[in-house]
């Protein structure tokens, strides 16, 4: 079953901030490839999103929150999402070293 993947305004803002950071660090083509890979990782949630584990902060919400890890240490990002019916809603994109999020 293929899922529809939708990103929240917060997730879009997170992605824009990550891209801005990459550009400010003069990451060049490597940074752009990394960012395109992040977009591919988000798109991959259309297939088997349940392959991803529950996020550590899952217990803090009245709905199920899962996460997909993208990148390599120390540049791992967590793509936080929920599944409702046949739609995956990407809620937030956070650096793996940041504290857990208690609001989404």
Q: How many domains does the chain have?
A: 1
% of the chain surpassing 70 pLDDT: 92
Residue 101 lies inside a defined structural domain of this protein:
no
pLDDT tens digit sequence for 48-91? 999 999 999 999 999 999 999 999 888 899 999 999 999 999 99
List of E strands, the chain: 4-7, 66-70, 77-84, 87-95
Phi, psi angles (nearest 5°) of residue 63: -130, 160
What integer is the mean pLDDT of 1-24?
92
Looking at residue 14, which CATH number applies to its domain?
3.30.2310.20
Answer whether 55's CB lies under 8 Å from 78's CB.
yes
pTM summary value: 0.88
Structural domain boundaries, residue 61 = 4-95
């Amino acid at each position: 079953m293929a899922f529809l993947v939708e990103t929240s305004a917060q997730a879009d803002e997170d992605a824009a901030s990550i891209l801005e950071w990459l550009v400010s660090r003069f990451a060049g083509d490597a940074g752009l490839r990394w960012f395109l890979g992040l977009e591919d990782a988000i798109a991959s949630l259309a297939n088997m999103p349940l392959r991803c584990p529950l996020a550590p902060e899952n217990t803090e919400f009245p709905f199920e929150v899962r996460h997909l890890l993208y990148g390599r240490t120390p540049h791992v990002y967590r793509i936080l999402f929920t599944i409702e019916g046949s739609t995956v809603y990407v809620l937030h994109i956070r650096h793996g070293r940041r504290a857990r999020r208690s609001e989404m």
